[in-house]
């Protein structure tokens, strides 16, 4: 990672710094759980102090909400060629699977990421989220003979399914080991790719 000087000055350098911080957070979140990630480590990855990082994000939740917005943008970008090549359900499944951090972040959105916000921050985030979701819904809508409001509701249903499916398909190490060891509870071991595809089929083929 290319480091810029400790204190970024000017809009361009500030945007570069934010991009560096988000990249560092993304790299850590790909291999670690949210609760195990420390801002001091993200700051060190970027080459700045924790105090300097706070100039850009006042807490870890806001940092990861920004990362979530970035992942939605990637999902939107990836979805267009996949929806053009495959059916709606298969293309959407492939698009979501191509951005694993989107699902991982979605799964902790209501229980962790949205908890430590001011009302103003919550409004701003939800407005941004609604705007970004609308872009994706607009790409899905041509494949469905439904009003846009119904398409939005279907996507929100999928959003809620991901919140539940991801943590159940990726349980704690202890639960995963128990499911592997004990045949009587093996039914709880689920494959996320299959679970996601099933949810999408059920929601969008109704």
Answer whether 180's CB lies under 8 Å from 190's CB.
Answer: no
> Taking all residues of the chain, what is their mean pLDDT, rounded to a whole number?
94
**What is the tally of helices (H) and strands (E) in the chain?**
10, 0
Looking at 86-172, list the stretches that DSSP marks H as alpha helix, in order from N- to C-terminal side: 88-97, 100-107, 119-140, 148-169
Question: Does the CA dihedral 98-104-107-110 come out positive or negative?
Answer: negative
Average pLDDT over residues 49-60: 97
Q: Give the Cα separation of 93 and 71 in Å (integer).
A: 15
Q: What is the pLDDT of residue 4?
A: 47
Average pLDDT over residues 93-111: 98
* CATH of 61-204 given 3.40.718.10, 1.10.3720.10, 1.10.357.10, 1.20.1630.10: 1.10.357.10
Q: Which residues of the chain does CATH 1.10.357.10 include?
A: 61-204
Q: pLDDT for 25-34, tens place per residue? A: 999 999 999 9
Asked whether the predicted pLDDT for residue 1 surpasses 90, the reply is no
Dihedral of the alpha carbons of 124, 57, 115, 24, in degrees to the nearest 10? 110
Query: pTM of this prediction?
Result: 0.92
Average pLDDT over residues 6-31: 90
Architecture of domain 11-57: Orthogonal Bundle (1.10)
Q: What is the pLDDT of residue 10?
A: 81
State the residue for tokens 């159940």. Answer: 168
Q: What is the pLDDT of residue 67?
A: 99
Q: What is the pLDDT of residue 58?
A: 96
Average pLDDT over residues 146-170: 96
Asked whether the predicted pLDDT for residue 114 surpasses 90, the reply is yes
Q: Which residues of the chain does CATH 1.10.10 include?
A: 11-57
Average pLDDT over residues 88-101: 98
Q: What is the pLDDT of residue 11?
A: 86
């Amino acid at each position: 990672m290319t480091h810029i000087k400790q204190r970024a000055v000017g809009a361009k350098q500030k945007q570069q710094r934010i991009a560096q911080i988000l990249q560092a957070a993304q790299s850590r979140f790909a291999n670690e759980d949210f609760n195990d990630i420390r801002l001091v480590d993200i700051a060190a990855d970027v080459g700045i102090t924790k105090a300097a990082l706070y100039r850009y994000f006042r807490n870890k939740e806001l940092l990861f909400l920004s990362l979530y917005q970035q992942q939605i943008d990637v999902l939107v970008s990836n979805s267009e060629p996949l929806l053009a090549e495959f059916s709606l359900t298969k293309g959407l499944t492939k698009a979501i699977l191509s951005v694993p951090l989107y699902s991982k972040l979605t799964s902790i959105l209501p229980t962790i990421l949205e908890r430590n916000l001011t009302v103003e921050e919550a409004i701003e985030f939800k407005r941004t989220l609604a705007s970004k979701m609308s872009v994706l819904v607009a790409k899905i809508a041509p494949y469905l003979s439904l009003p846009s409001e119904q398409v939005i509701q279907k996507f929100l249903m999928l959003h809620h399914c991901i919140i539940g499916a991801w943590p159940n398909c990726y349980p704690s190490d202890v639960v995963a080991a128990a499911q592997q060891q004990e045949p009587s509870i093996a039914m709880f071991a689920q494959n996320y790719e299959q679970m996601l595809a099933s949810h999408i089929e059920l929601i969008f083929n109704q």
